[in-house]
Each structure stands twice: as C-alpha cells, then as structure tokens.
Amino acid sequence: MIEGAAEANGLPPEFLARLIWKESLFDVKAVSPMGALGIAQFMPETAQRRGLADPFDPVQAIPASAAYLAELRTRFGNLGLAAAAYNSGEERVDNWLGGRAGLPGETLGYVHSITFRPAHWFREPGREVEPRPLDAARSFAEACQRLPVVRTRSVLFEGAEWQPWGVQVAGNIHQGAALRQFARLEAQYRRIIGGVSPIVMRARSGLGSKRIWSVRIGADSRLAADRICMRLRIAGGACVVRRN
C-alpha cells in the first residue's frame, strides 16, 4: 500500500514509509495529544480540507498522505522541507524560511530521522532527499514488514521516543485531565521530571477492563525506571513502574 501510494505520487517509497512510521509506528488507531488521527496523523481540519473521510482507514489515509507530501514538495522545493511542513505546518515553515521564526526541536529531529539530513540543509536550492533503502539486503516490501508495528491504541507525546519501560505518574479516563495532572507534577518535581517528554498511552487501570490515559516517563530498562520512581517517592511523589 505504501509503495503504491508513493509511486502514484512520485515519491520514494522508503521516504514515505519512514515518515508514516515516524508519525504513528504504523498504528492505524493512533491519536496524538494534539488531536492528530490515524496512521498518517492527519489533524481533523486537514483531513476535512483534503477530502479524507476517515483518517483511521489506512487505505484512505496513506494515499492522502502521499498526495499531500507531493503538493508540499511542489510548494517548498524538496521532500525535506515537505516533511518539515507535514510535521509542524506550512505557515511555520514559511516563517522559518523567511527568517521570522525557528523550527521546533521536535520538527528538527523529525526531519533528520526521516531524511538523514538536518532541516537547514534543505534550504539550499536544488537539494533533495537522497536515496536510502530501508534495508539494502531486502526488498522494500520485506524491509517494510520488518519495521516495528504498534497494534494498540497508543499515543505518543510530540518528540517522545518510545521506550520499553515507563514510570507511570499520572492517569485519568479523560486524556486532558491526565495531561493536566502531569503538568502539575512536572512543575512540582521539576528537578526529577522537568522538561521530559512523556509517553501518553491507553492502558488498563488495574480495576477490571477499564482503560485510562496513562502518562509515563520512558526508560530503557527496568532498573532505570525503578531509579526514577524511587527519586520521585523520596521527594514525596507517587509512581509505579510498568512495561510499555
């Protein structure tokens, strides 16, 4: 599906695959805290403007994403700037190119992870994303299938990297309430979790099958998570370590 949509819009398939994977980890039910929906993370107003009836349907969303990226490339001159606009918005990229504002750190990391070049590299006329297969030893289809896929309705904060362990510090049946709870805790325990981009995901509450929005500080190992949680507890906070 990705390869066909890319070819139909004149895009390198590996570029489109990396961008969509970066957006959602191929989770067709992904919802961002900002409200972006589905595998290609369309904001509702953008989906409506582009005639995308169901952002959660990958059969619709992937071709719509490819078509939008092709238009962004035409507008900005290359796929590097198109990726920046896809992530942060067209107006923000216009302002950046015009010297009126900078790009968010999350967008800078986003562009580099997809194109293997810093965003400013694409400001020079004539530059374009260079060919780079997903896996030089495998076909595109095989390499694409080997990318990790999220099969749950998980949600990642902008800029957060998915990690195997998490220190759960906030949770609520309402997403907004969980995020507000985390904001208060971040201010209270700034020396421990200040400036950290959390993982926000749907998880079981422990009370039967009921699900809540869980806000967790990511960690690479159980030991690292335990250490963060211990520091919070010593400071008077509450937390629990979970595998993400």
Domains of the chain: residue spans and CATH: 2-145 (1.10.530.10), 160-243 (3.30.70.1070)
Rounded to whole angstroms, how far apart are CA atoms 76 and 195? 32
pLDDT for position 141: 87
Mean pLDDT of the region 127-142: 89
According to DSSP, the residues that pair with 201 across neighbouring strands are 154, 214
Share of the chain above pLDDT 90, in %: 51
Cα torsion through 18, 127, 84, 132, rounded to 10:
10
Q: Is 80 exposed, middle or buried (0-12, 13-18, 19+ CB in 10 A)?
A: buried
Mean pLDDT of the region 39-56: 91
Assign 142 a pLDDT band (cuts: 50, 70, 90).
Answer: confident
Rounded to whole angstroms, how far apart are CA atoms 244 and 164? 5
Among 18-27, 87-96, 146-155, 160-169, name the most confident range.
Answer: 87-96
CA 241 to chain CA centroid, Å, is 23
The residue with tokens 């960690």 is: 219
The residue with tokens 């994977």 is: 21
* Of 33, 26, 41, 43, nearest in space to 170 by CA: 33
pLDDT for position 89: 92
pLDDT, averaged across the chain:
86
Task: Enter the pTM of the model.
Answer: 0.63
pLDDT for position 161: 64
Q: Is 167 exposed, middle or buried (0-12, 13-18, 19+ CB in 10 A)?
A: buried
- Tens of pLDDT, residue by residue over 205-230, are 655 556 788 888 989 899 999 999 99
Q: H helices of 25-160, where?
A: 44-49, 58-76, 79-88, 90-97, 105-115, 140-145
* Of 175, 169, 179, 140, nearest in space to 238 by CA: 169
